[in-house]
Amino acid sequence: SNASASLGNIRNAQDAQQIAISLWNNYVEKTPQRTKLIDAFMAFLMVVGGLQFVYCVIAGNYPFNAFLAGFSATVGQFVLTASLRIQTNADNENDFKNLSQERAFADFVFGSMILHFFCVNFIN
């Protein structure tokens, strides 16, 4: 009974590993380079936000508004980048028929400028 349960766990782990490998291979083969670049930037933003949070926990948050401004900038930029990724994804073409990729990028840049203007002003 115990051996069959551990055998089932091994099969589930192997299945999960096969699914993960299949997802990764599909991503590498079929995802456009531009989307991979956006994904890399989103991963960078996640790392930066995580580092800011860990620093705040370890070293303290004395200038709390500076932490809030920096963390809000990374979270806000992540959201704007996710929106850009959705709008420029070829699979979502039908949902954004009237929106060119250039317009989506211009909206991204404009939103990023507004976000950072408010974050810089919030630092004081």
The closest of 87, 89, 81 to 108, measured between CA atoms, is 81
Owner of token pair 């990729």: 101
> pLDDT tens for residues 24-48?
999 999 999 999 999 999 999 999 9
> pLDDT tens for residues 61-87?
888 888 899 999 999 999 999 999 999
Please give the model's pTM, rounded to 2 decimal places: 0.82
Q: Residue 16: which pLDDT band, with cuts at 50, 70 and 90?
A: confident
How far apart CA 77 and CA 48 sit, in angstroms, is 11
The closest of 89, 80, 88, 86 to 109, measured between CA atoms, is 80
Owner of token pair 């009237």: 98
Two structure tokens written together for 88: 């420029």
How far apart CA 71 and CA 64 sit, in angstroms, is 10
